[in-house]
Structure 1
C-alpha cells in the first residue's frame, strides 16, 4: 500500500541504460498503470475504514471462514489486491525509469526512495496509529516496499532474465522455508524475522519492532515486476501487451485453482464447512498474507494482470481517467487519508469514549460502508490537486518522493 510511481528525473549528460522510447504508447501505458494503482487505493480505503470503525471485530490471517461476517470477508478479500499490485507495479515502474536514466541514477533513486519510505513508516505512520508514547514500531507495507526498492537497487546490475527467474523462484518456493522457525535469542533470528517469519524483535530502550510484512516474498514480487518491464515499453503494441497480461493472469489463476484443489502446498489447507457452500467457498479463498503465501500471490497477481489488461482496453473511459488521478499521487493519498482517518477516530473517541473494549467503533458494518461512500469525493479533490501540482512542478525536487 504505497506509491509505485517512479516519477521522471531530469536527464543528465550520462548515457541512459536504454534508448528513449516513443511517447504515444507510453502515455497509454501510464494511464492504465495509474488506473490500476488508483483502483487498489480505493479498495484500500475501505479496509482502512474497517480498521478505523470496526477494529473490534477480529480479522485473523487468514480469515476464519466459519465465523467471519460475509460482507467483511469480501471487503478484506478485495483489499488483498493492494499490496501485491503496488509491489509489482513498483518493479515495472523501476524498469521504465531505468530506460530514461543511467544505472547509477536508477540505483540512487531506488535507494533514496526506499529509505524515505522506511523512515515514514517508522517515524510517522507508527506514531500516527499507535501514539508517540507507544514502544512498538510496526514494520508494515511502506517499510516493506522501501526494503524491496533497496534490494532491487542492489540487484539491477544482473541481467533482467536472471532477476525474473530469481523472482519466480522466490515467489514459488518461499513456502518451503515455512518449516524454519527461530526464536528470540537464536542465531539469525532478527534477519529471519525481517525476511520470512512474522514476529517481534526486541530493540534497545524498551522498544520492540513487529515485522508485520516479512520481505522475502515481496522481494520476489518486485523482481518479477522488473523482469516483465519490457512488456510496457513504448514500441510494444497495446494488443500484444494485453494478450500477455491476459495469458499471464489466466495462467496464474489456473495454477491457483489447481494447487488449492490439491491442498498440499502454497498455504494452509482449506476445509469443508458442513451445510454451508458459501462458507466452504470462503475457506477456499482464505489465504495467508503475512508473509504472502504462493497461493495468495497467484490469486491477487492473476487478478491484477487481468485488471491491468482491462484498463489498457478502456484507456479512454471516464472511470479509467478518474482512477488514474488517485494513482497519479499514491503516496500523498496514502499519507493524507490515513492522517484524516486517525483524526476522525480520535475526535470520535474524545466525544464518545470507548464503545467496544478499549476502542471506539460502530456496531454495524453498514456504517463503515456509509463512511466509505461519503469520503471518496473529499479525498479525491486534494489528491487531484496534488497530482496536478506534481506534474506541473517537476522543478520541486521533494515532490517526486510523494
Structure 2
C-alpha cells in the first residue's frame, strides 16, 4: 500500500529542519561566540545575528505543523477522536522519553550527565499531551483558548517563583525558564517553557479544516496567504509602536543595527512578537512551497527530509557531535578547551556538507515509509 502525504507540509518541515541544522552547527562549533537570549546586540556580529535569527522559524513552524498533522491524522477513514487522542498521548510520551535519553546523550555523550536540557522535543511532547485533551473541547473554545494563550501569556512575564516556593517547578515548566535541582548533583534546565507552545500546537490543529477535501486548494492558499500577511502586519504594528507583546527595542548606531534591534524578539518563552513574525513567515513559505512539485529536485529533497523528521533530528545531532570530536582530535583545541570556527561562513558550509550526507539516508527511509506498513517506520 502506498501512503499519500501532503507535499507542501513535508516540504516546509524539511526546510525548517535544514535551517535547524545550521543553528546546531553553530551550537557545536561556535560556542565561544554564543549569543544570549534575547540576542545581545552589543557583542554580536551582523553575520552571527542573522545566522541565529534564521533558525527562529524552526520550532514554531514545527509545532504548528504538528498540530495540523494531528488534525489530518484524525480525518483518515475509520479513525475516531479516541484514536487521535491515543495517537497524541503515545507520541507525546515517546518524545519526552527521547528528550531525556537519546537526545540528551547526543548533546553531551555522557551516560550520567549532571544537567538535562528540556528543549524542543520535550516541548513538542508535552504540547501533544495537552492537545490530546484539548481536542475534545468545542471548536469555539479551542479558538478562544489558543488566542488567549498566544496573545495573553506575556501578561504573565512578571510572575516568578523562588526555588523554595511551591510554584517554582510547575511554573518553570510552563512559562518561566528555570534551573531545577533534583538532587544527587542533577539539575534540569527548562529551556522551552511549554505554555506558549501549547497555544501554538492548538492553533495548528485549528488550521486543519482548511485542508478538508471540500476546500479548494486555491481557496486554502488565499486563506494561508491572508493569515500570514495579517500576522506580519500585526508584528510590524505592535513592534513598531512599542506596544504589548515583547521587550521594547532601541535604535542602534547604524541602520542595520536598528533593523537588528527591531527583529530581536524573545524566544524563551516565545513572545507574541516572536510568534507573529515566525508564524507569518512560515505561512507565506507554506504558500510558496505548495507551488513546488515533488518531481522538482528542491521540492523532492525537502519533502523527503520533512517526511522523516525524527530520523533527521537524531541523525544530524549524532553526526555533528562525532564530527566535532574528530576535528578536535585532528586539529586540537583552538578556542580554550574547545575546537571552534572563526567565522560564520564555516557554519553554513559545514551545515551544507552534513545536509548532503544525510539526504540519501532520508530519501531511502522516506521511500520505505511511503510503501511499507511497518508500524515502527511511523515513528521516524
TM-score (norm 2): 0.95
Question: What CA distance in whole angstroms lies between the structure 2 residues aligned with 1:255 and 1:364?
Answer: 35
1:342 deviates by: 0.7
Mapped contact 1:161–1:227 kept (Cα < 8 A): no
Query: Where does residue 35 of structure 2 map in the other structure?
Result: 59
Query: Where does residue 15 of structure 2 map in the other structure?
Result: 39
1:128 deviates by: 1.9
SS across alignment from 2:188: strand
Question: What CA distance in whole angstroms lies between the structure 1 residues aligned with 2:354 and 2:63?
Answer: 26
Structure 2: gaps of 5 or more residues: none
Deviations 1:334-386 (A, max 9, x none): 10111100111122223333321232112222222221232222111101111
Structure 1: gaps of 5 or more residues: 1-6, 9-25
Query: Where does residue 223 of structure 1 map in the other structure?
Result: 202
Mapped contact 1:256–1:298 kept (Cα < 8 A): yes
Query: Where does residue 21 of structure 1 map in the other structure?
Result: none
Mapped contact 1:238–1:312 kept (Cα < 8 A): no
Query: Where does residue 109 of structure 1 map in the other structure?
Result: 87
Question: What CA distance in whole angstroms lies between the structure 2 residues aligned with 1:267 and 1:132?
Answer: 38
Question: What CA distance in whole angstroms lies between the structure 2 residues aligned with 1:240 and 1:66?
Answer: 45
Deviations 1:309-331 (A, max 9, x none): 11223346442222111101011
One of 211, 220, 225 as aligned partner of 2:190: 211
Tell me if 1:146 matches 2:125: yes
CA-based RMSD of the aligned residues comes to 1.6
Query: Where does residue 47 of structure 2 map in the other structure?
Result: 71
Greater alpha carbon shift after TM alignment, 349-358 vs 227-236: 349-358
Query: Where does residue 386 of structure 1 map in the other structure?
Result: 365
Query: Where does residue 179 of structure 1 map in the other structure?
Result: 158
Query: Where does residue 290 of structure 1 map in the other structure?
Result: 268
Tell me if 1:95 matches 2:71: yes
Deviations 1:296-320 (A, max 9, x none): 0000000011111112233464422
Query: Where does residue 16 of structure 1 map in the other structure?
Result: none
Tell me if 1:319 matches 2:298: yes
One of 20, 26, 36 as aligned partner of 1:50: 26
Question: What CA distance in whole angstroms lies between the structure 2 residues aligned with 1:67 and 1:161?
Answer: 46
1:183 deviates by: 1.1
Deviations 1:79-105 (A, max 9, x none): 101000000000000011111211111
Mapped contact 2:26–2:347 kept (Cα < 8 A): yes
1:129 deviates by: 1.1
Counterparts of 1:212-361 in structure 2, within 5 Å, are 212-274=191-253, 276-315=254-293, 317-361=296-340
Question: What CA distance in whole angstroms lies between the structure 2 residues aligned with 1:76 and 1:381?
Answer: 27
Question: What CA distance in whole angstroms lies between the structure 1 residues aligned with 2:187 and 2:52?
Answer: 27
Tell me if 1:127 matches 2:127: no
1:35 deviates by: 0.6
Question: What CA distance in whole angstroms lies between the structure 2 residues aligned with 1:306 and 1:165?
Answer: 24
Counterparts of 1:366-381 in structure 2, within 5 Å, are 366-381=345-360
SS across alignment from 1:291: coil
Query: Where does residue 4 of structure 1 map in the other structure?
Result: none
Query: Where does residue 399 of structure 1 map in the other structure?
Result: 377
Query: Where does residue 200 of structure 1 map in the other structure?
Result: 179
Question: What CA distance in whole angstroms lies between the structure 2 residues aligned with 1:205 and 1:344?
Answer: 32
Mapped contact 1:64–1:283 kept (Cα < 8 A): no
1:264 deviates by: 3.2
Greater alpha carbon shift after TM alignment, 209-218 vs 310-319: 310-319
Deviations 1:192-224 (A, max 9, x none): 000000011111332111000000000000011
Greater alpha carbon shift after TM alignment, 294-303 vs 104-113: 104-113
SS across alignment from 1:179: coil
Mapped contact 1:66–1:273 kept (Cα < 8 A): no
What is the total number of aligned residue pairs between the two structures? 375
Mapped contact 2:316–2:354 kept (Cα < 8 A): no
Question: What CA distance in whole angstroms lies between the structure 2 residues aligned with 1:383 and 1:312?
Answer: 21
Query: Where does residue 82 of structure 1 map in the other structure?
Result: 58
